[in-house]
Amino acid sequence: EPEVTQTPSHQVTQMGQEVILRCVPISNHLYFYWYRQILGQKVEFLVSFYNNEISEKSEIFDDQFSVERPDGSNFTLKIRSTKLEDSAMYFCASTPRAGGPETQYFGPGTRLLVL
């Protein structure tokens, strides 16, 4: 069964460093998302991406964050200068074509720890 994959599974970084989180969505999906979940808190929407551009972003998704789909398969989230409060689990998700089910399929997540 096709699945969303994410790398790395864990990332530890120093405050101020740049990190890139990678995702490979399911191949025929068209909508891509990043969410994050700080330990013990609600899953929070960060950004949605459709037709090679950001379709919506939350107030969390400030200038420190960017997303890219550099080729036909990868979908990346870059955090330019990490802060302690960026420590969280980051989930990538994708959904199928327009008009298809709204079910979002999640990757296993990348646990980011900023020291």
Between CA 99 and CA 80 the distance in angstroms is 35
Per rule CB under 8 A, is residue 65 in the interface with other proteins? Answer: no
**Which residues does 49 contact at the CB level (< 8 Å), separation at least 6?**
31, 32, 33, 55, 67, 69, 75
User: Which of 13, 26, 50, 60 lies at the binding interface for other proteins (CB under 8 A)?
Assistant: 50
Residue with tokens 């960017």: 66
- Out of 23, 67, 104, 112, point to the residue binding other proteins (CB under 8 A): 104
Dihedral (CA of 40, 79, 55, 101) sign: negative
Of 10-18, 64-72, 78-86, 90-98: span binding other proteins (CB under 8 A): 90-98
- Does position 108 bind other proteins by CB under 8 A? yes
Contacting residue, 21, 25, 33, 61, with other proteins by CB under 8 A: 33
The residues with which 49 forms a beta bridge, in sequence order, are 32, 54
Catalog residues that contact other proteins under the rule CB under 8 A: 31, 33, 35, 42-45, 48, 50-51, 55-56, 89, 91, 93, 95, 101-109
